[in-house]
Structure 1
């Protein structure tokens, strides 16, 4: 569905993606020094890196591979309004981060792909949870465009945090369930 305030939605999502580019520019100037500030699984001295990890990327290629899906899926995820988008983002961000911190492989896990997977799965299941034909149609289109990336929740390519993808996707399910529950309580769905 189209966001209620499409221009504001576009500015918010583009602003966040723009911030990721600024962070990567700073990291480039620092010769990649920020890349070690990702999620370090089961390290209690580094647990706060859950907050920073989605903002950090292992280079421009890594960032640009996340940027377009973040722009598209993030914009579509604002269809419930900016407040709901912020809530969905927090649920996905924290679920991806905490899950990766608990079960992730050793090393620094960085990147916004957990958010990409979270927004993708949120958009795929939200329509089912709220029983909305319009949102189910959006899910079909989103699946046709991005469904193949769901294989990324499985272990495979070395250096790719499938754990972040998996827990981001689970965060998307959790956020969709929460949105549907709130809509039923408000009598909207």
Structure 2
């Protein structure tokens, strides 16, 4: 029954709905974690990344789901939903593995290189998604993907200033932003031959096809003329 209903939904709408599934599930876990903190009056910050400490290894898995405040999670939720949906919509062939690699590699690099403090939030993943969509769109030279890249630059370009420490003892995890950005950019290069590609025009083949068509037309015309001559009364 569900399959039958799905056949009546336009392709682009189904594609968009499918692109929302993983981003929405991800955000559901984020909001469940924040709801638990609010209801119990406790903090889950100890589930974040603490660089180079065994106690902080769990953060590689849990850090993106933990947020410091309502404002923090609301801001991240909007950005994540837009960018992750863009990944799964425009790069659906490679979106899942790109997201998984980004998730674990960016967090692992943060554990290796970050300051000795608790790092929480999905910002690193968001920066990685933004970097992937921008770099991938540009290097593929695909008109639609280049347009997506420039939209992201226009909408989120200023956020990339935060991959650097803007002040001494900056409470924002700029290291997480930097690791996410580097990971997303690297994945864009690594997977550049996979997923959507620019259409290549083969002018020689087109010219050959055109010549063949013209030859067929000339053959038909000659045949008709010959037939006309043969049909004349003697």
Shared fold by TM > 0.5?
yes
**Conserved? CA contact 1:103–1:163, under 8 Å:** yes
Corresponding residue for residue 152 of structure 1: 162
| Distance in 1 between residues matched to 2:22 and 2:13, nearest whole Å | 12
Q: Between 27-36 and 163-172, report the one with greater CA deviation.
A: 27-36
Deviations 1:20-72 (A, max 9, x none): 11111112233233112110011034313211001111121111110100011
Q: Between 83-92 and 46-55, report the one with greater CA deviation.
A: 83-92
Corresponding residue for residue 125 of structure 1: 135
Structure 1 outlier segments of 4+, above 4 Å:
186-189
Question: Is 1:163 the equivalent of 2:181?
Answer: no
| Distance in 2 between residues matched to 1:3 and 1:51, nearest whole Å | 32
CA gap 1:22/1:11 in 2 versus in 1, 3 angstroms: same
**Conserved? CA contact 2:91–2:195, under 8 Å:** no
**Conserved? CA contact 1:40–1:106, under 8 Å:** yes
Corresponding residue for residue 150 of structure 2: 140
| Distance in 2 between residues matched to 1:47 and 1:15, nearest whole Å | 23
**Conserved? CA contact 2:142–2:198, under 8 Å:** no
Question: Is 1:40 the equivalent of 2:50?
Answer: yes
Deviation at 1:99, TM superposition (A): 1.7
Deviation at 1:130, TM superposition (A): 2.1
Q: Between 54-63 and 170-179, report the one with greater CA deviation.
A: 170-179
Deviation at 1:139, TM superposition (A): 0.4
Q: Normalising by the residue count of structure 1, what TM-score does the alignment of the two structures yield?
A: 0.88
Highest CA radius of gyration, 1 or 2? Answer: 2
| Distance in 2 between residues matched to 1:149 and 1:187, nearest whole Å | 29
**Conserved? CA contact 1:66–1:113, under 8 Å:** yes
Deviation at 1:100, TM superposition (A): 1.2
**Conserved? CA contact 1:92–1:114, under 8 Å:** no
CA gap 1:129/1:45 in 2 versus in 1, 3 angstroms: same
Choose the corresponding residue for 2:91, options 60, 80, 95: 80
Choose the corresponding residue for 1:182, options 188, 194, 216: 194
RMSD over aligned CA atoms reads 2.3
Question: Is 1:102 the equivalent of 2:112?
Answer: yes
| Distance in 2 between residues matched to 1:16 and 1:96, nearest whole Å | 16
Q: Normalising by the residue count of structure 2, what TM-score does the alignment of the two structures yield?
A: 0.72
Deviations 1:1-20 (A, max 9, x none): x7971111123322321221
Corresponding residue for residue 67 of structure 1: 77
